[in-house]
Amino acid sequence: MQAVEFRDGRLILLDQRELPHVERYLEIESAAAACDAIRDMVVRGAPAIGLAAAFAMVLAAREAQSNAEPEGMLRARAEMIAGARPTAVNLRREVDAVLAVLKGPKEEWPEKALSYAEAMRRRQNQEDELMAKNALGLFRPGMRVLTHCNTGALATGGLGTAFAAIVEAHRTLGLTEVLADETRPRLQGARLTAFELGRAGVPHRVIVDGAAAHFMGSGMVDLVIVGADRIGSDGRVANKIGTYGLAVLARHHGIPFAVVAPRSSCDPLWPDAREVEIEQRDPREVLEFQGQRVANAGSDAYNPAFDVTPGELVAAIVREDGLFRPPYAF
């Protein structure tokens, strides 16, 4: 099961909106369709979005080639893809990186973009392996671990970030149980993390997001471990909405709160030289369930997709180049 692939000139995305019950793949032939798929969360998770964007640039390069203004069109398509979701740094970073290699004759653009994206996939796979190994120092045999959202193969196209660390820790040390937050409103925890934990043979239970304090207070959590969409120079972490609350709860209960993410999710310009936009999604994701209105008719909702956890609440940040402790200076 591959979250992101490029075959026969098409971007193939596993439709994560339908998992775990249906395994359906979308075949995408235009940059605009790739952009819609990223925005609609067919593919999601910061590194997987970056990978899909790099492959989408192959489609953009192909479209631009036959345009009267190839460079202008390429830049417009790149801007469209990079703007599909604003919070994960990986998306714009990879689009910019592909643009940087598209120098020279336009006939070579698609091939150049494709080799960048394929090399990027290989690099991400290696990084995932290294992060899982580097994170081992956070675990002890028999631990109970709480995680949020989905950070597995579905979120990176490789092994995953925090998820791969959990699987490696269970394989080498043995964990008692993983608590997977359901992760309202898109249920990445209940649908995707539980699915991947099940396939990896890791004992787990799904809990509602609001139950985290209860389980921490009951001594049923020894470590909270999550991924990141963007890490600032001082260790602040933008991640799925609810992450900040978990970090505050963990601090109150004396439980370590750790983040696993590749260097490509780090943004040294944030916060000093850059503000970060928190994606605001459609209120219907909160007000409806499977297309049926459940909230009071006439009530509106806020639906921020991410929050920001201050670096001082983060006990450790694990990247492919090591395990870092506060104070952070990335």
The residues that are catalytic are 229
Smallest gap from residue 318 Cβ to ligand MRU (A) = 12
Smallest gap from residue 239 Cβ to ligand MRU (A) = 5
Measure the CA–CA gap between 205 and 193, rounded to whole angstroms: 10
Query: 49 with 90: CB under 8 angstroms?
Result: yes
Among 151, 233, 264, 309, binds ligand MRU (CB under 6 A): 151
User: Per rule CB under 6 A, is residue 259 in the interface with ligand MRU?
Assistant: no
The structure tokens 């492959």 sit at: 55
The structure tokens 């920001």 sit at: 308
Among 146, 155, 167, 225, binds ligand MRU (CB under 6 A): 155
Smallest gap from residue 258 Cβ to ligand MRU (A) = 13
User: Which pairs count as long-range contacts for 205-208, CB under 8 Å and 24+ apart, including other chains?
Assistant: 205/177, 205/178, 205/179, 205/180, 206/179, 206/180, 206/181, 206/182, 207/179, 207/180, 207/181, 207/182, 208/181, 208/182
Among 143, 212, 228, 259, binds ligand MRU (CB under 6 A): 228
**Given the complex with ligand MRU, which of 188 and 233 has the nearer CB atom?**
188
User: Per rule CB under 6 A, is residue 158 in the interface with ligand MRU?
Assistant: no
Measure the CA–CA gap between 171 and 156, rounded to whole angstroms: 20
User: Per rule CB under 6 A, is residue 47 in the interface with ligand MRU?
Assistant: yes
- Site map (CB under 6 A) of ligand MRU, residues 173-202, x = contact: ---------------x--------------
Query: 32 with 2: CB under 8 angstroms?
Result: no
Smallest gap from residue 282 Cβ to ligand MRU (A) = 13
